[in-house]
Chains A and B, each alone.
Chain A
Amino acid sequence: MDPKLTEVAQLFARFKAAYARNDLDACVTLLSQLKVQLTKFPSLPPLFQQTPNAVEELKLARDIYEHAVVLSVKLEDQDAFERDFCQLKPYYMDTCGIIPPSPEEYPILGLNLLRLLVQNRIAEFHTELELLPVKALDHPCIKHAVELEQSFMEGAYNRVLSARQAVPHETYVYFMDLLAKTVRDEIAGCSEKGYDSLSISDAKQMLMFSSDQELHQYITEEHPEWEIKNGSVFFQKAKESQPCKEIPSLQLINQTLSYARELERIV
């Protein structure tokens, strides 16, 4: 076996050990070392050179990145997740026929879909979905994400929230928690449009808070423009900010008519 490859494999073994004992700091440092090491293999994307160890190298690299993704979930670092996932993606998309598909492929893809849903990036969510083969949609992980999205779009938020109980993979829990917040934001946005004001108790129920305390905190953090008065929440301010765009129709009609008259006079 190639010495470089052995070295990386050993390093990866240390990473896995650290991961197993939940030493996250050590994991992060080891991971960044691993990534730097990986840049030295020409068989990896984007070059895909046909080296003798290409298959092993590719497999190893894919494994490393899969772990990186899972680690980022554990670290609750969404940026790192996106970065790592992007780097992992070529191993899924462009290595067909070189290495066998990974067992982790669909869970991680599903995780990514979930992330996009959480970040409310619906357009990208659908782009990703289109890129998947038809049979992938039957996979429970993917199916889960798709169903969530449908409920989310329908406005069946209770279904979204209850889905937390039926996660297909343990890593999904983090994103499901985040999803609750996304749902709340959606509801808040709709309420703003739908009502002038809401009583505090209604608002609490609507936004799924268990206490007034939490509601107040949410309002001050996310919607400082809302006003709490007389036991009600007023959304007025937000509405006032939008100017009324009424068309000055009468004036326009008058002008047009006078132009027509004058034109006739000229001719």
Chain B
Amino acid sequence: MVSSAGSLLAMLQEPAPELKLHALASLNSLVHAFWHEISTSVSSIESLYEDEEFDQRQLAALVASKVFFYLGELNDALSYALGAGALFDVSDDSDYSQTLLAKALDEYAAIQSRAAGEDKTMDPRLEAIVERMLDKCILDGKYQQAMGMAVECRRLDKLEGAISQCDNLHGALSYCINLSHQYVSHREYRLEILQCLVKIYQTSPNPDYLSICQCLMFLDEPETVASILDKLISGSNVCTIFLLYQTIDDALLAYQTAFDLAENENQAFLLNVRNHLDALSSARSDADSRATNAATEPSGDVQMGDDVNMPNGTALTVDPVKVAHADRLTKIKNILSGETSIQLTLQFLYSHNRSDLLILKTIKQAVEMRNSVCHSATICSNAIMHAGTTVDTFLRENLEWLGRATNWSKFSATAGLGVIHRGHLQQGRALMAPYLPQNGAVGSASPYSEGGALYALGLIHANHGEGIKEFLRESLRNTSSEVVQHGACLGLGLAALGTADEEICEDIKNVLYTDSAVAGEAAGIGMGLLMVGTASEKATEMLAYAHDTQHEKIIRGLSLGIALTVYGREEEADTLIEQMTRDQDPILRYGGMYALALAYRGTANNKAIHQLLHFAVSDVSDDVRRTAVLALGFVLYNEPEQTPRIVSLLSESYNPHVRYGAALAVGISCAGTGLSEAISLLEPLTSDVVDFVRQGALIAMAMVMIQINESYDSRVGAFRRKLEKIILDKHEDTMSKMGAILASGILDAGGRNVTIKLKSKSKHDRLTAVIGLAVFTQFWYWYPLTYFISLAFSPTALIGLNSDLKVPKFEFLSNAKPSLFDYPKPTTQQTATASVKVPTAILSTYAKAKSRAKKDAESKAKEKAEVAPPPSEDASAASTSMQLWLLSQVDAAAAEKKGPEPEPQFQLLTNPARVIPTQEKFIKFLEDSRYEPVKTAPSGFVLLRDLKPTEAEELVLTDAPSTAAGTNAPAPSASEQGSGAMAVDEEPQPPPAFEYTS
């Protein structure tokens, strides 16, 4: 090595061009060591580059670029690198080229993403470099990298190229979809990408319909979805029996697609798909009848090969196919309308209900008689605990106590029934009948229970209100009581969520213009619910009225309503948000915060976060500041890990409102995750000096810890004890007491079988859930709105379905310790007579000893992957509540022969099973099972392909809760017995069959 580049620099000054060239070439290889020396004479290199006659100008540019790179002048370096043309090696992995490539990409992406009006002149050389890099990535097989760059640089043509060359087409497409949702913050561009993806999907020979339909839903193209579904259920090759299996598979796929779509809860879209499906199938049947002969003859030929039998054959084959098609169409429509999934969910929640009535009992006894806040909080807590399970034992047992609720508490108490019976679509109206306003005879019941009942109907039919809309409208029109109007407006909004129905809108608007504070508030929210995500003109109208009216309540309702209308519109909503956040009226600014939260929900958009943080520290109104912090939770829920970090400073603010907001923000965005950082942040807040901060922190903590048990995070147990302590403490403030009561409800929500989930499994936002939480946070002003949290609940179950949409007996594996995801242990009390008083550890060894003794006798008969029928002696000896767990224990012992561990490493679950979100990654499907899942999703509805269709199927979960008496009767499988027995043994009482119509 030389010690200096001086000689080369001197050579650069030589008159002979060969020498200059030699010097440049040598400098190029030495620049990393001597850039500091070269930098002093970089101007001479630059002048070489500018010299038109010099034939190696590109080399000069390259050297200059490298020198500037080392000097840290990246802009100059890039412009010279562009001058270097082909000499700039994109495949080099030195710091220099990596940095400059990144810089070039950034530059290119920045220019490409400029808005239309701005200067978009692109240096062709820059473009060339980026293209070279993309091509190289594709050539090297780094498809993901290429796709990422193409998306970032807005080069859809390259994206298409990368995907089409990729060997794993489906992987690539799903990667792109993920990419577009996570990293593309501009909504219009995201839609463009999705359009491009759908195009590629459709051209591929073996399209992945599940993903296509997800994309199409985002693009809002119900026609295409409908035609795909139609194609699938009618089978692309009509009416050959050979292809029957094929069509069954297709149908399964169609069902699965429909379930996935229904899960995203976009009511308006699903309605459209359904209508288009109808239109398509009617059109088809016309065409079919005309072309029957032409269509069936060739197929008949193939199928029979016998000319004589042909006419008979066609007649036979056509008919069943048509019947099957009609049958499938109804099924698909039922799935799309959500009825199927709601019904199955209802059955699951009912049969697996594990709520702990003792907790409620404790609360009830602890709460003072006169304290109506705590009284109604207890009722609410009960409703949340039993949300969707239809179990109202507690209410039935405490009718007298319940009767203490008067006025608005009565309203809440009645509405609570709606939460308990959520999704009970068929019986809903009959259930609420005693409380509903009677036609003709005016007000046998109080207006409060009438209004509450209408609200309850809305909750029952939330987002699936086709059947109940008319009734609610009528009730709204027939009443003049503002309490009833209040309930009806909320109910209508819930039932017709996001449908933007003009007539309903008019009705609600009439209520609004009566300018009554109570009804107007609900009307504002109701209108917002109706118009969710439509960004319609109505928002400006609402804003104008909000300026006119004198009532704070109405303004608040309206501003929340306006916020709801811009749900998910991102940039489109910016003008409206600007208008609201600059308003004189703090209540409208407060609405503006919600608008920001909902428009940018789950995008982690930097601009929105900045704006919110700005308002959180600079606004003069405490309400606005609180809401601004809280709104951060909505914006960030797609990256829950970020939230605790971002709000950690705010959670130490001197202002209690900001602290409260920080607590709820963490609660919202980390809901159901059990995130350790979130818990650490909330823990100090639960013992804050200000009562309402404690309230918020307790509720938020419950939201974070929902479905997490003590063996997963030990702080859950401490939190439960803390709740109990607060509730029992006589000197605790009402506010935090109420928070604790609600928190214990949320912690055990939905019979411990639901979680709060703002994103669906396909990573889309669950509209209803987000809206539900947003309105829920309004409980600060209006307690009855607490019930909106039930919209955010999502059952944590894996429900496998066969082609008849029945639940067959099916087993799968959870590859983790059972105790990690088990239900929390039921509470015990001196007064309680529950049998389980023995700690688990003793039980397990006991069971183990038993099983080992048994094993000598009969272990040879057992096979590895099979669950043996439980020995009856065992069942009687050990607590039946532990039976399921014990079964796998036996199993593990059989497998390992020795088994020194106190607990097995896996667990067999039986369809339908509770699979909580943290457990999902441990779920495995068994290889040698009779059923094979269409899509290997670890939770939700999964369609199962029957590999032995000729054998008789064993079905479970065939009973609806309304015919509840039958639950324990058809329980052929071991584990079903277990769960049935569980209910008997562990809970104070199983829900008896009761008659709703009395």
Contacts and interface: CB of A to CB of B under 8 A. Distances in A.
Contacts of A85: 10
Contact of A94 (B2, B8, B13, B14): B2
A137 to B, nearest CB: 20
Interface string A26-47: 0000001001100100000111
A93 B5 CA distance: 12
Given A46-B26, A48-B1, A86 B18 contact: no
A86 B2 contact: no
A32 B10 contact: no
Contacts of B992: none
B16 A32 contact: yes
Contacts of A39: 18-19, 22
Contacts of A94: 1-3
B2 to A, nearest CB: 4
Contacts of B9: 86
Given A35-B16, A36-B19, A39-B18, A87 B4 contact: no
A36 B11 CA distance: 11
A46 B7 CA distance: 9
B10 A46 contact: no
B960 interface: no
A181 to B, nearest CB: 24
B576 to A, nearest CB: 48
Nearest to A79: B13
B3 A83 contact: no
A93 B3 CA distance: 8
Contacts of B268: none
Given A46-B2, A46-B30, A48-B1, A89 B7 contact: yes
Interface in A53-93: 79, 82-90, 93
A32 B18 CA distance: 10
Contact of B14 (A35, A90, A93): A35
B124 interface: no
Contact of B13 (A36, A83, A90, A93): A83
B6 interface: yes
Contacts of B4: 89-90, 93
Nearest to A85: B10
Interface string B471-494: 000000000000000000000000
Contacts of B10: 82-87
Contact of B6 (A32, A36, A89): A89
A46 B9 CA distance: 12
Contacts of B16: 32, 35-36
A45 B7 contact: yes
B11 A87 contact: yes
A57 B13 CA distance: 23
A87 B1 contact: no
Contacts of A45: 2, 7
Nearest to B6: A86
Contacts of B1: 46, 48, 94
Contacts of A32: 14-16, 19
A35 B26 contact: no
Contacts of B2: 45-46, 48, 90, 93-94
Nearest to B25: A39
- Most chain-B CB neighbours within 10 Å: which of A79, A82, A87? A87
A83 B14 contact: yes
Interface in B10-34: 10-11, 13-16, 18-19, 22, 26, 29-30
A39 B16 CA distance: 12
A68 to B, nearest CB: 11
A4 B13 CA distance: 26
Contacts of B8: 46
Interface in B805-845: none
Nearest to B30: A46
A80 B416 CA distance: 98
Nearest to A40: B22
A108 to B, nearest CB: 14
Nearest to B16: A32
A1 B411 CA distance: 110
A247 to B, nearest CB: 37
A85 B11 CA distance: 10
A140 to B, nearest CB: 26
B35 to A, nearest CB: 14
A85 B273 CA distance: 85
- Most chain-A CB neighbours within 10 Å: which of B4, B7, B10, B11? B7
A40 B542 CA distance: 83
Nearest to A86: B10
A203 to B, nearest CB: 39
Contacts of B3: 90, 93-94
B32 to A, nearest CB: 13
Contacts of A93: 2-4
A83 B11 contact: yes
B524 to A, nearest CB: 53
B7 A87 contact: yes
A46 B27 CA distance: 9
A51 to B, nearest CB: 16
Interface string A93-106: 11000000000000
Contacts of A35: 14, 16, 19
Contacts of B19: 32, 35-36, 39
B288 to A, nearest CB: 82
A20 B22 CA distance: 30
A105 to B, nearest CB: 15
B41 to A, nearest CB: 11
Contacts of A46: 1-2, 5, 7-8, 26, 29-30
A47 B8 CA distance: 11
Nearest to A88: B7
Contacts of A36: 16, 18-19
A32 B6 CA distance: 19
A93 B14 CA distance: 21
Nearest to A36: B18
B282 to A, nearest CB: 83
A247 B1 CA distance: 56
Given A35-B16, A45-B2, A94-B1, A86 B7 contact: yes
A86 to B, nearest CB: 3
B61 to A, nearest CB: 21
Interface in B38-72: none
Nearest to B18: A36
A134 B19 CA distance: 35
Contacts of B5: 46
Nearest to B9: A86
Contacts of B26: 46-47
Interface in B754-775: none
A199 B11 CA distance: 49
Contacts of A87: 7, 10-11
Given A46-B30, A48-B2, A87-B7, 17 more contacts: A32-B16, A35-B16, A36-B16, A36-B19, A39-B18, A39-B22, A45-B2, A46-B2, A46-B7, A86-B10, A87-B11, A88-B7, A89-B7, A90-B2, A90-B3, A90-B4, A90-B7
30 contacts: A32-B15, A32-B16, A32-B19, A35-B19, A36-B18, A36-B19, A39-B18, A39-B19, A45-B2, A45-B7, A46-B2, A46-B7, A46-B8, A46-B30, A47-B26, A48-B1, A48-B2, A82-B10, A83-B10, A83-B14, A86-B6, A86-B9, A87-B11, A89-B7, A90-B3, A90-B7, A93-B3, A93-B4, A94-B2, A94-B3
- Nearest 4 CB-CB pairs, A to B? A86-B10, A39-B22, A46-B2, A83-B10
